[in-house]
């Protein structure tokens, strides 16, 4: 066992997969430059020294190109791990991800596979609206894409490895405030969760969520940063005698529905927390699933705690208003009791 | 379970009666004791009260039809069949009377009877209530937006089960008697005691009008509750009648606790309604229903039966005009009330009141004055406010 | 290595197969027997034929919304293409793709990509893999004049150049992007002129001369195979039919169409072969017969094939998933 940050866990995963399988390579901007950052959040730091610049392939600023290269390389026998510097740039490559990668297997009648990974950092960090979005919902909506969102070092390593070995396009969303990046790339306000990671080989299966905290009065579902908001809220609620069960879905597509449904059947109450705009978001989908499949177990209306329907603001006081806080989660839980 | 609506054999000389008016329509919710339909016999036009609570359906006779007595002309579908909830529906204390929980699809009224603000019930609570046979009307809500939630149903269930084990809330008998007269030297035993019965026919039109007005204001009460209310007042004003014999001691009591004669289906029982003079009609209505229900279930406790200071038998629902109450209870006096009858005389509606009393323990003057006041309160219910 | 002896009859037969296939599709569509619109390749046969003549099954061709010609030239069977157009379970995409997505990975043609320009970056990826794996394969990205203005194409051309990818970008300039004339979308006269801006060779070819295409493609493909990097090959050609089946062609003049009809590739090759006494009328007629028989067989096969089940729609969202 070793304690490490999420950035370190991701780096380990990439390294191990590249050692294990020569077809694996990384492609993205600023990921292999000598003396460089190792990617925007240090995840690929040091890898180009070990694997060279063909396997840690730096690109021009061409998001469409990055995606297309990953897709084509995957179709032709390699296993690329592509990344965007900021999740917001995924929008620059939407056609490639949504029209090409997601649909290639289907349109070919199941004969063509696209075993690629696309990593994307998300979350608001005082950089302004275009470098702040949590946009998983755009992709959970696309049939043909798998989507994971690891919030711990253990899950980051295990899920990235599983993603590399999956024969389908997998989007890996990472939160900027959870990396634990050090030095000049460290983030103000970061949580930097450090977790234990086994030395021996392990995988976290795509499609399985986990109960982070057991409880009986209310189910709180959160992802990435908001998972920690949920856990913080649960701790405070416990002092009031309210027992909250906190669920981390870990994979968004395919969703571990049964885990959530089982929990709601037990507690009768559901609060979903997301760092994403409220309307048409991910929480809305979870709420609909539970309302359809566990309606008669509900003791209170389902509550979503989301960012308001605005672009992400810059000023720290506004950002604190925008990103769901522990207090808002606590308030939401209380409203269900 | 469906309760058949049988035409009562009320004609003196004929085997058929005519249906004059239906007060309820097919699919409407019905409460036990409220007028269901009116018939015309050879003698008079009479209101017939519903013998059960539920949803009226299967109506086979319409206004103007001549029907044989004892024929079933409809049925009342009770809770188990998806009608509105059973006979012991109670509103939450202090809250306005709430609507009956919604009928199942099969019994849904074409024009639903809205009885009050809608009661919110969470799906989880509803499921639990159904599984445990809990009537949701009896459960107060503490959840979001005042909804009944799981914990409310669980609390109700706990109260129900503990109520069956432990003594109920109130004292079985008042603490101290006002006065005691030892009648040991009389050697009187109650059974076989000399009884006098006084009868009076009171004009009940004001009271029926009052009842109708209350119904329009969504306060559903039965005749019994009206008698209790009136008795409460009269007994408070004339405490000589508010007394009971304990062994050889006649005790007069400060609190008014009326034993209500109830047909359990398996004999009579006389559970006690406490502090009748202190309670509003709605509360009396709730309590009498609850007592009746428990009586039917055989769930009355010993405490329920103790401490009566007066006894009331209301045989109006059984369709009896008048009867002589016999004292089989420790109270010194007992009132029997018949049914409210329509027409036949100067008044629109009349009712027979009979007061039986042990003449060794109550003098005729007091008894007459008492009965006179009861009749007056019935005829001029506004006096209850004075 | 440029071939000095192009296989003329083979080229002729391939072009004729494409032509008769497309004509038949048009016919079937008019009779209501094909449930979707079609983007026909009539008039452009020389490009697909000349380029694909050099390709193996391990080389890739990425096509566009107008893919029938590339599919036939690359070796996708007329049966499986026709069955796909008829929306049958035996189609090359099992009825999941339709006209704009025909392809067969077994002969190196992924489902065609109907987002114009979208296949260019993917071609870079495929070529990158071929280079990394050292299997000597090349990837052809085909797109039209309209697509050449897509951002995706610019990104792809740049990436192919900086990494010296074994990719050939074939721009089939048929003078119209749907109804938009070339001259209104370009300040320059030749798409190939842009190649210099990326640092790769750009060549302009008479796209209606299959031998010219064949020769130019040979050079570009050889260069790519030998590690010489990508080429942008612009083939000037003309669509002798509407953009799709619902195109009234009111944006072109009859004179222009007539001019291009005279230069259409199949007749041109036939004329050349006759001129040089390389073929007899009898032989040409025989080829025609064989080609028509192949098309007839494809139609019969398609008609006799079963429909997919409605619930087949749920299959193959993910690889290896059978619903």
Q: What is the DSSP string of C54-105?
A: T--TTSEEE--SS-HHHHHHHT--HHHHHHHHTT-TTSTTTTSS-GGG--BG
Phi, psi of B246 (to 5 degrees): -120, 105
pLDDT score of B3: 81
Tokens 């041109």 appear where? C268
User: In Å, how far is C135's CA from the nearest CA of chain A?
Assistant: 11
Number of helices followed by number of strands (H, E) in chain C: 12, 7
Residue C73 has pLDDT above 60, yes or no: yes
Tokens of C6: 């192009």
Residue C295 has pLDDT above 90, yes or no: yes
Nearest to A336 among B125, B127, B144 (CB): B144
Are B126 and A299 inside 8 Å of each other by CB? no
Percent of chain B whose pLDDT exceeds 70:
78
Among C1, C176, C147, C186, residue whose Cα is nearest residue C62: C147
Neighbours of chain B (3+ CB pairs under 8 A): A
Nearest to A68 among C92, C124, C317 (CB): C124
- Band (pLDDT 50/70/90 cuts) for residue B107 is very low
Partner C contacted by A107 (CB < 8 A): yes
Tokens 């035996």 appear where? C90
Other beta carbons within 10 Å of B122: 25
Nearest to B124 among A298, A335, A337 (CB): A298
User: In Å, how far is A71's CA from the nearest CA of chain C?
Assistant: 6
Chain C, nearest residue to A77 by Cα: C129
CA distance A135 to A118: 14
Residue B103 has pLDDT above 50, yes or no: no
pLDDT score of B344: 61
pLDDT score of B10: 66
CB B26 within 8 A of CB B46: no
Are A296 and B126 inside 8 Å of each other by CB? yes
User: In Å, how far is A254's CA from the nearest CA of chain B?
Assistant: 28
Number of A/C CB contacts below 8 angstroms equals 153
- B142-155: pLDDT as tens digits: 988 889 999 999 99
Taken in order B148, B151, B154, B160, the sign of the CA dihedral is negative
Are A297 and B143 inside 8 Å of each other by CB? no
Nearest to A65 among C113, C124, C319 (CB): C124
CB C117 within 8 A of CB C147: yes
Here the contacts of B272-280 (C-beta below 8 Å, separation 24 or greater) are: B272/B304, B272/B305, B272/B306, B272/B307, B272/B308, B273/B228, B274/B170, B274/B307, B275/B170, B276/B228, B276/B229, B276/B231, B276/B232, B276/B235, B277/B232, B277/B233, B277/B235, B277/B236, B278/B232, B279/B232
CB A287 within 8 A of CB A302: yes
CA distance A335 to A104: 45
For residue A1, the Cα-to-chain-centroid distance in whole angstroms is 24
Phi, psi of A247 (to 5 degrees): -115, 135
Q: Give CATH for domain A210-336.
A: 3.40.50.920
- Band (pLDDT 50/70/90 cuts) for residue B239 is confident
Per CB-CB distance under 8 Å, the chain B contacts of A299 are: 122-125, 143, 149-150
CA distance C52 to C139: 11
Task: Name A58's Cβ contacts closer than 8 Å, sequence gap at least 6.
Answer: A28, A29, A30, A31, A32, A33
pLDDT score of B185: 34
Asked which of B283-287, C206-210, C286-290 is least confident by mean pLDDT, the reply is B283-287
Query: What DSSP string describes B252-272?
Result: E-SS-EEEE-EE-SSSEE--E
CA distance C225 to C136: 6
Per CB-CB distance under 8 Å, the chain A contacts of B149 are: 268, 299-300
Per CB-CB distance under 8 Å, the chain B contacts of A301 are: 144
Chain A, nearest residue to B153 by Cα: A299
CB A159 within 8 A of CB A205: no
Where chain A has pLDDT below 50, the residues are none
CA distance A101 to A122: 21
pLDDT score of B102: 40
Q: CB-side exposure of A116: number of CA atoms within 13 Å? A: 36
Which whole-number Å values give the CA distances from C150 to C60, C84, C154, in the listed order? 21, 29, 7
Tokens 């009867």 appear where? B323
CA distance C132 to A73: 10
For residue B23, the Cα-to-chain-centroid distance in whole angstroms is 19
- Residue A131 among the catalytic residues: yes
Higher pLDDT, B106 or B225: B225
ipTM of the complex: 0.91
Contact C/B (≥3 CB pairs under 8 Å): no
Nearest to A107 among C96, C128, C152 (CB): C96
- C128-154: pLDDT as tens digits: 999 999 999 999 999 999 999 999 999
Partner A contacted by B122 (CB < 8 A): yes
pLDDT score of B84: 44
- C24-47: pLDDT as tens digits: 999 999 899 999 889 999 999 999
Q: CB-side exposure of C300: number of CA atoms within 13 Å? A: 6
Q: Give CATH for domain C8-184+215-307.
A: 3.40.50.970
Partner C contacted by A216 (CB < 8 A): no
Residue B114 has pLDDT above 60, yes or no: no
pTM, two decimal places: 0.68
Mean pLDDT of B74-101: 50
For residue B227, the Cα-to-chain-centroid distance in whole angstroms is 9
Are B123 and A300 inside 8 Å of each other by CB? no
Are A73 and C126 inside 8 Å of each other by CB? yes
Mean pLDDT of B57-63: 90
Query: What DSSP string describes A289-328?
Result: HHHHHSGGG-SS--EEEEE-SSPPPSSHHHHHHHSPPHHH
pLDDT score of A187: 78
Neighbours of chain C (3+ CB pairs under 8 A): A
Among C39, C102, C99, C35, residue whose Cα is nearest residue A111: C102
* Cα dihedral value B108, B114, B119, B123, nearest 10: 20
Kindly list the domain boundaries of chain C, sorted by start residue: 8-184+215-307
CA distance C289 to C311: 40
Task: Name B118's Cβ contacts closer than 8 Å, sequence gap at least 6.
Answer: B98, B99
Kindly list the domain boundaries of chain A, sorted by start residue: 2-197, 210-336
Are A168 and C132 inside 8 Å of each other by CB? no
Backbone torsion region of residue B222, taken as left when φ is above 0, otherwise alpha when ψ lies between -120 and 50, otherwise beta: beta
262-281 of A, contacting B, C-beta below 8 A: 268
How many residues comprise chain A?
Answer: 337
CB C225 within 8 A of CB C166: yes
Taken in order B38, B39, B40, B43, the sign of the CA dihedral is negative
Asked which of A277-286, B32-41, C117-126 is least confident by mean pLDDT, the reply is B32-41
CA distance B1 to C127: 79
Partner C contacted by A169 (CB < 8 A): no
Q: Based on the number of CB atoms within 10 Å of its own CB, is B340 exposed (0-12), middle (13-18) or buried (19 or more)?
A: buried
Partner B contacted by A2 (CB < 8 A): no
Tokens 């009956």 appear where? B100
Number of A/B CB contacts below 8 angstroms equals 32
Tokens of A162: 């599983």
Mean pLDDT of B49-77: 87
pLDDT score of B13: 59
Are B124 and A335 inside 8 Å of each other by CB? no
Q: Is B209 helix (H, G, I), strand (E, B) or coil?
A: helix
Query: What DSSP string describes C198-216?
Result: HTS-EEEEETT-HHHHHHH
Tokens 């089960």 appear where? B161
User: In Å, how far is A262's CA from the nearest CA of chain B?
Assistant: 14
227-256 of A, contacting B, C-beta below 8 A: none
Q: CB-side exposure of A63: number of CA atoms within 13 Å? A: 18
Q: Based on the number of CB atoms within 10 Å of its own CB, is B53 exposed (0-12), middle (13-18) or buried (19 or more)?
A: buried
Among B124, B3, C297, residue whose Cα is nearest residue A267: B124
CA distance A333 to A336: 5
Per CB-CB distance under 8 Å, the chain C contacts of A25 are: 132
Residue B341 has pLDDT above 90, yes or no: no
Q: Which residues pair with B314 in a beta bridge?
A: B337
* Cα dihedral value A155, A160, A161, A162, nearest 10: 80
- B342-379: pLDDT as tens digits: 866 677 899 999 999 888 778 888 889 999 999 999 99
Percent of chain C whose pLDDT exceeds 90:
89
* Cα dihedral value A319, A320, A326, A327, nearest 10: -130
Query: What DSSP string describes A225-278?
Result: HHHHHHHHHHHHHHHTT--EEEEE-SEEETT-HHHHHHHHHHHS-EEEEEEEES
Residue B237 has pLDDT above 60, yes or no: yes
Per CB-CB distance under 8 Å, the chain A contacts of B144 are: 300-301, 335-337
Tokens of A334: 């209380």
Are A68 and C125 inside 8 Å of each other by CB? yes
Q: Give CATH for domain A2-197.
A: 3.40.50.970
Residue B83 has pLDDT above 70, yes or no: no
Which whole-number Å values give the CA distances from C188 to C149, C169, C181, in the listed order? 12, 18, 13
Chain A, nearest residue to C58 by Cα: A76
Mean pLDDT of B46-72: 86
Mean pLDDT of C94-104: 96
Residue B310 has pLDDT above 60, yes or no: yes
């Amino acid at each position: 066992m070793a304690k490490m940050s999420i950035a370190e866990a991701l780096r380990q995963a990439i390294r191990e997969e590249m050692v294990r399988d020569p077809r694996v390579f990384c492609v993205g901007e600023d990921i292999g430059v000598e003396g460089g950052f190792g990617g925007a959040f240090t995840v690929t730091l040091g890898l180009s020294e070990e694997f060279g610049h063909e396997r840690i392939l730096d690109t021009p600023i061409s998001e469409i190109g990055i995606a297309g290269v990953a897709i084509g390389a995957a179709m032709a026998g390699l296993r690329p791990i592509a990344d965007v510097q900021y999740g917001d740039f995924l929008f620059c490559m939407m056609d490639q991800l949504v029209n090409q990668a997601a649909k290639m297997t289907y349109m070919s009648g199941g004969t063509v596979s696209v075993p690629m990974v696309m990593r994307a950092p998300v979350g608001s960090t005082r950089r302004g609206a275009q470098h702040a979005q949590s946009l998983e919902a755009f992709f959970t909506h696309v049939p043909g894409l798998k989507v994971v969102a690891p919030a711990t070092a253990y899950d980051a390593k295990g899920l990235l490895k599983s993603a590399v070995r999956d024969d389908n396009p997998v989007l890996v969303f990472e939160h900027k405030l959870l990396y634990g990046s050090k030095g000049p790339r460290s983030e103000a306000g970061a949580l930097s969760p450090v977790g234990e990671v086994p030395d021996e080989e392990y995988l976290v299966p795509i499609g399985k969520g986990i109960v982070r905290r057991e409880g009986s009065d209310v189910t709180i579902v959160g992802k990435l940063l908001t998972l920690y908001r949920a856990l913080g809220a649960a701790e405070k609620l416990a002092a009031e005698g309210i027992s909250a069960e906190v669920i981390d879905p870990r994979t968004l597509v395919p969703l571990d529905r049964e885990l959530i449904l089982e929990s709601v059947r037990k507690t009768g109450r559901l609060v979903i927390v997301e760092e994403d705009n409220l309307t048409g978001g991910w929480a809305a989908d979870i709420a609909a699933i539970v309302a359809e499949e566990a309606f008669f177990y509900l003791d209170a209306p389902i509550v979503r705690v989301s960012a308001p329907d605005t672009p992400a603001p810059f000023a720290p006081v506004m950002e604190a208003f925008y990103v769901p806080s522990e207090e808002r989660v606590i308030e939401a839980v209380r409203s269900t009791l | 379970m469906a309760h058949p609506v049988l035409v009562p054999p009320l004609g003196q000389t004929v085997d058929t009666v005519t249906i004059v008016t239906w007060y309820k329509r097919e699919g409407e919710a019905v409460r036990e004791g409220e007028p269901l339909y009116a018939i015309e016999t050879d003698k008079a036009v009479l209101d017939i009260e519903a013998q059960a609570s539920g949803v009226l359906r299967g109506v086979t006779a319409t206004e103007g039809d001549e029907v044989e007595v004892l024929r079933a002309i409809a049925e009342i579908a009770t809770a188990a069949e998806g009608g509105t909830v059973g006979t012991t529906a109670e509103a939450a204390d202090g809250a306005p009377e709430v609507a009956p929980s919604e009928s199942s699809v099969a019994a849904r009224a074409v024009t639903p009877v809205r009885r009050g603000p809608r009661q919110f019930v969470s799906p989880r609570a509803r499921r639990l209530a159904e599984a445990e046979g809990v009537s949701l009307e009896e459960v107060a809500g503490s959840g979001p937006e005042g909804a009944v939630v799981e914990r409310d149903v669980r609390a109700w269930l706990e109260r129900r089960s503990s109520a069956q084990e432990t003594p109920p809330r109130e004292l079985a008998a008042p603490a101290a008697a006002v006065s005691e007269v030892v009648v040991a030297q009389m050697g009187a035993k109650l059974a076989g005691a000399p009884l006098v019965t006084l009868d009076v026919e009171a004009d009940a039109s004001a009271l029926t009008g009052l009842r109708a007005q209350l119904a329009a204001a969504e306060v559903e009460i039965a005749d019994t509750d009206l008698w209790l209310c009136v008795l409460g007042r009269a007994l408070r004003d004339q405490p000589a009648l508010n007394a009971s014999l304990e062994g050889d001691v006649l005790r007069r009591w400060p609190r008014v606790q009326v034993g209500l004669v109830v047909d359990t289906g398996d004999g009579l029982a006389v559970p006690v309604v406490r502090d009748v003079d202190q309670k509003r009609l709605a509360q009396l209505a709730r309590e009498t229903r609850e007592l009746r229900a428990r009586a039917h279930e055989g769930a009355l406790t010993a405490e329920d039966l103790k401490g009566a200071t007066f006894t009331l038998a209301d045989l109006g629902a059984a369709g009896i005009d008048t009867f002589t109450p016999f004292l089989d209870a420790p109270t010194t006096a007992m009132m029997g009330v018949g049914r409210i009858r329509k027409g036949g005389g100067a008044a629109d509606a009349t009712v027979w009141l009979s007061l039986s009393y042990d003449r060794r323990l109550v003098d005729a003057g007091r008894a007459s004055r008492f009965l006179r006041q009861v009749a007056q309160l019935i005829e001029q219910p506004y006096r209850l406010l004075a | 290595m440029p071939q000095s002896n192009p296989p003329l009859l083979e080229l002729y037969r391939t072009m004729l197969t494409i032509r008769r296939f497309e004509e038949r599709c048009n016919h079937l569509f008019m009779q209501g027997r094909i449930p979707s619109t079609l983007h026909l390749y009539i008039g452009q046969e020389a490009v697909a034929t000349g380029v694909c003549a050099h390709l193996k099954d391990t080389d890739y061709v990425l096509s566009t919304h107008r893919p029938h010609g590339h599919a036939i030239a690359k070796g996708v069977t007329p049966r499986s293409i026709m069955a796909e157009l008829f929306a049958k379970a035996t189609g090359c995409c099992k009825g999941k793709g339709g006209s704009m997505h025909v392809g067969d990975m077994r002969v190196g043609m992924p489902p065609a990509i109907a987002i114009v320009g979208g296949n260019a970056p993917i071609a870079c990826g495929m070529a990158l893999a071929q280079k990394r794996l050292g299997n000597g394969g090349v990837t052809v990205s085909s797109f039209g004049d309209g697509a050449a203005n897509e951002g995706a194409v610019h990104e792809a051309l740049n990436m192919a150049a900086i990494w010296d990818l074994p990719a050939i970008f074939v721009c089939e300039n048929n003078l119209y992007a749907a109804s938009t004339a070339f001259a209104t979308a370009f300040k320059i006269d030749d798409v190939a002129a842009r190649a210099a801006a990326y640092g790769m060779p750009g060549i302009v070819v008479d796209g209606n001369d299959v031998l010219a295409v064949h020769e130019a493609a040979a050079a570009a493909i050889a260069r790519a195979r030998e590690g010489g990097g990508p080429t942008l090959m612009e083939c000037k050609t003309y669509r002798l039919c509407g953009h799709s089946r619902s195109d009234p062609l009111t944006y072109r003049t009859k004179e222009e169409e007539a001019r291009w009809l005279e230069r259409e590739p199949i007749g041109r090759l036939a004329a050349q072969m006759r001129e040089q006494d390389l073929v007899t009328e009898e032989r040409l007629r025989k080829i025609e017969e064989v080609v028509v028989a192949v098309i007839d067989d494809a139609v019969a096969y398609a008609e006799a094939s079963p429909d997919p089940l409605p619930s087949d729609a749920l299959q193959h969202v993910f690889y290896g998933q059978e619903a």
